[in-house]
Amino acid sequence: MRYTLSTDTLTVTVTLDHSIVKKITLREANQSVEEAVESAIDLLDEISAYLNGGRVDFLRYAVDLEGLTDFQRRVLGKVRQIPYGVVVTYGMLARELQTSPRAIGNALSRNPAPIVIPCHRVIGKHGIGGFTSGVAIKEHLLQIEGISIDPSSNK
């Protein structure tokens, strides 16, 4: 679990695994605390609008992909480009990135920002596929976007 604390001059990020400190990073703050709070509120407002059926473009939000491989970053970059209300299959992405559907699924399981990076828009050839937050949540997110996938056909 990652926690961030900011002042006007310093940002501290603490990464914990249960109660064990895994990593602490320090860096100069690139925005004031007020700006950071405003950005967080904007993002939460936009997620709320999305969950209520609004078409929201999350591309303006940067996502920290630190700790991911170049391949995982490429997969998530492609997934970020999938438009609202559109789905692609793991196989389609695999062909485009010259890899296997399983590799695509593994990369998607490392997505640090579901909804902002819409990995729920990637489905299986014969059904909804997996989702780290659970298939029911994936199905719900797709329904918000007007997409219905029969979860019983998932193989």
Catalytic residues: 119
Whether the Cβ atoms of residue 58 and residue 115 lie closer than 8 Å to each other: yes
Whether the Cβ atoms of residue 108 and residue 114 lie closer than 8 Å to each other: no
Query: C-alpha distances in angstroms, 65 versus 53, 68, 70, 139?
Result: 27, 6, 10, 25
Instruction: Say how far apart CA 5 and CA 88 lie, in whole Å.
Output: 37
Whether the Cβ atoms of residue 63 and residue 106 lie closer than 8 Å to each other: no
Q: Which amino acid is at 17?
A: D
Instruction: Say how far apart CA 114 and CA 45 lie, in whole Å.
Output: 16
Instruction: Say how far apart CA 57 and CA 42 lie, in whole Å.
Output: 12
